[in-house]
Structure 1
Amino acid sequence: MPSAIIVEDEVLAAERLRVLLEESGVVLLKVFHHAQPALDWLAVHEADIVFADIGLPEITGLELVERIKRVAKRQPEIIFTTAYEEHALRAFELAAVDYLLKPIKLTRLQTALERVSKKYQEKADDFTHFKVFSRDRMMEIPWQQARYLLAENKTVYLYTGDGISYDLPKTLLYWEELLGDKVIRVHRNALVFRHTLDCLIRMDDEEDESNATWCAKVLDVEKPLAVSRRQLAAIRRVLKDKT
């Protein structure tokens, strides 16, 4: 399920889009009516998609995207919204996924979301092996043998089903984007391969379930992995789909 923010100065237009995104199963993280707060937020947070109105008051949506490329913690996909068509060519030059005319229709929005999903899936489908060094030689590990990725002390480690770990280059965000639907984030520092996610384990006796502590049991891994409250609902959906 993708996450998104809206950058839209028209309150009614933002509300309409919010309702359509909810109907489409998109997790809406924030709504911004001005460009700068959106840029500040993207510098420290992550979203899969930015819905950007081209006619923002301070700067245009096109300028906003140029700045997002410079400051974003992780580059989101861009979908422009506007009442006019004349900026369409420039929008696609900036690698926008799509360009939605207001008033936005649900079917048209879902087509744009399918394009985003296809881009992520194409990246994931192309990936077959991790290339790692072990005893001074290069090894290729099929992704199906992996169990989870863990970021510790500025290094990402790949853990396989036999309990061996390997150093990986790049960041956890890089691997999350590359692997797409093959993985799910269980914590800010951990990605688990979906096919190895076994079950959730409650680690306390809290009466209030909203304050409960949970861990994820991973196939062939003895120690459960901590689960953040933010990811709990998504993990439950994955487990439900597997049953």
Structure 2
Amino acid sequence: MIPVVCPSPLAVMIVDDEAPARTRLRDLLADLAPELPNELVAEAENGFRALAAIASRRVDVALIDIQMPRMDGIALACRLSELARPPAVIFVTAFEAYAVQAFELNVVDYLLKPVRAKRLLTALQKVRPHPMRMPVPLASLQQTARSHLSCHERGRLLLIPVAEVIYLKADLKYVTARTRDREYLLDESLTHLEQEFGEQFIRLHRSVLVARETIIGFEKSSSDDAETQWQAMLRDIPERLPISRRQWPLVKSCAHHLTP
């Protein structure tokens, strides 16, 4: 007779500076236990206490608020990701504005308060440990491409829909994202953006990616630069972007979608 190996309960930590919020999550976890066995192994009201708690016990997943005193949830998630066996992270917050920054940290999910039991169950099922295996590390969870980019500007976090970006241009340590209305400075590398959004953007030049669907035509370059012979004409803006000789065959192949 082959023995049945039952999965161990999901070890959960709650981190929130508000006691009612912790109580709400505690009650939801208890309600979900028959469907998804779990064990609340620690609670903390800020990031520092959370780090102290996780040092002495196994935690599979941390449910973390973002706006907390002393150490906020974003900083805590960064610290947790540095651990040898980091827990998965699910943010639980009342604010939508942090969503892009959260997914840049490869969190499992992003739940808005008040949290519903079904929504929490869906998030927890993404990190349920497989029988006889270690919990899924934070860094190994696969994320789809973001729907928004983030720009820190004068103390604000601005969210830029990727669908509205016409081109991305590298300049020193920043990348400029150009929409129809304005430019935004991103603290990201062009190489990383190309890897993440390769299906939406195509490289024109070593320092420029352009949204494929915004190319409306090509014209001969009037520049003396031997590297560029053609320029891309773009929808909604008058700028022409140079195309390197190396990239020209690939860019030209996109011409099949152009409308006459």
- Taking structure 1 as the reference length, what is the TM-score of the superposition? 0.48
More helix by share: 1
- Taking structure 2 as the reference length, what is the TM-score of the superposition? 0.45
Larger Rg: 2
